[in-house]
Amino acid sequence: MVAERPESIPIAGGTDLLVHWPARVAEHERAYVDLSRIAELRSIAWKNGELVLGALATYWDVIHAGRMNEAYPLLVTAARQVGAVQIQTRGTWAGNIVNASPAADGVPVLMAYDATVVLESTRGREEVPLDAFYSGYKQMTKRPDQLVVAIRIPWREYDVAIFEKVGGRRAQAIAKVGLAITHSKAGWRVVAASVAPTVRRCPAVERLLNEGTPVRSPDDLLPAIERDVTPIDDLRSTASYRKRVMARLLYYDLRGVCPAFQ
Ligand SMILES: Cc1cc2nc3c(=O)[nH]c(=O)nc-3n(C[C@H](O)[C@H](O)[C@H](O)COP(=O)(O)OP(=O)(O)OC[C@H]3O[C@@H](n4cnc5c(N)ncnc54)[C@H](O)[C@@H]3O)c2cc1C
């Protein structure tokens, strides 16, 4: 159906699409392709040393899947902070990826675990690392006829896994600053949300951590942060607040676990 009508809009949980429904009147005429009855997209499977989330896997499914808290604790931590129970039971991880909000909570933790997006159309299958999926605000490597069918997450031993969401309140908040940090044999991953047009990895901060550069205060992190992110002033916060909060979160989160942080 999507191949025949590439202008159609796939709908999974509908929790992003329906928020925009009253404002986007022009889209009411488009075809909506309901994915919710495609059982094959619903599974959560452990295969060949990786976790495969089907495109209809919800936050609630992940919170309640066995072994998740031991293997990928950040998925559970972030899922519990998405909206409230109503959103957690309907909202999907794939919908969070395609909605492409810079303030998303699911995308940062998936990116910190080196997730790959699996796309499929009648023309075949394609896999794109999530950290290469976005090219600008709401721009992504996905053709209109492609569906996200799964998210693949490799298994590694992680000795650091941290998720931070700074909002105006503790629940039902949109992040002013979000951070997901992991460390494994593959190195450091530092992923930031709400500080750039897309959720993005922070290569300058990651380099500093991988090289063990001494860090004696949050301000020592600011030059690297300024290379990695471009926050803006908006109704939720200011650019300067976002950068300073990001520096403090990184410093105080990593001081106990990273020997270079004194
Ligand atoms: C009250 C409220 C609170 C919220 N709180 C949070 C929050 O705290 N953190 C957060 O990150 N988000 C939050 N959200 C946003 C939303 O719930 C999430 O982004 C959710 O993961 C979206 O998933 P969905 O299945 O509902 O997507 P949908 O609304 O069904 O779709 C979202 C987009 O993805 C596309 N899409 C969906 N599935 C596929 C697929 N398989 N292939 C191709 N395209 C697809 C759709 O066409 C659409 O463009 C909130 C929303 C509401 C209404």
Q: Which of 5, 11, 93 to mutate to test the pocket of ligand 1 (most atoms within 8 A of CB)?
A: 11
Residue 239, number of CB atoms within 10 A of its CB: 14
Ligand 1 close to Cβ of residue 119 (< 6 A): no
pLDDT band at 170 (very low <50, low <70, confident <90, very high): confident
Q: What is the pLDDT of residue 244?
A: 96
**Distance separating alpha carbons of residues 178 and 194, to the nearest angstrom:** 6
On the question of pLDDT at 262 being above 90, the answer is no
Closest atom of ligand 1 to CA, residue 105: 11
| pTM score | 0.97
Residue nearest to atom 32 of ligand 1 (CA): 95
Q: Which atom of ligand 1 is nearest to the CA of 11?
A: 30
Percentage of the chain exceeding pLDDT 90? 90
Confidence of residue 6 (pLDDT cuts 50, 70, 90): confident
Return the best residue to mutate from 99, 117, 176 for the ligand 1 pocket (most ligand atoms within 8 A of CB): 99
Per-residue pLDDT tens digits for 94-127: 999 999 999 999 999 999 999 999 999 999 999 9
* Best residue for ligand 1 mutational test, from 1, 5, 7, 15 (most atoms within 8 Å of Cβ): 15
The pLDDT of 69-83, averaged and rounded, is: 96
Residues 139-176, buried b or exposed e (16+ Cβ, 10 A)?
A: ebebeebbbbbbbbbeebebebbbbbbbbeeeeebbbb
Give me 60's structure tokens: 């609630």
Structure tokens at 117: 């997006």
- Tell me the three state secondary structure of residue 92: strand
> Which residue stretches of the chain are H helix?
17-20, 59-64, 68-71, 73-80, 85-90, 93-99, 106-112, 203-211, 222-228, 239-254
CA of 18 from ligand 1 middle (Å) equals: 9
User: Which residues neighbour 211 within 8 Å (Cβ) at sequence distance 6 or greater?
Assistant: none
Give the atom of ligand 1 at the shortest distance from the alpha carbon of 119. Answer: 42
Structure-token pair, residue 168: 């105006």
DSSP H or E run through 121: strand 116-121
The pairing of beta strand 139-140 with beta strand 50-54: unpaired
Q: Which atom of ligand 1 lies closest to the CA of 87? A: 17
Cβ(36) – ligand 1 distance below 6 Å: no
**Cα 202 to Cα 226: distance, rounded to the nearest angstrom:** 10
- Which residue out of 92, 117, 118 has the highest number of ligand 1 atoms within 8 Å of its CB and is therefore the one to mutate? 92
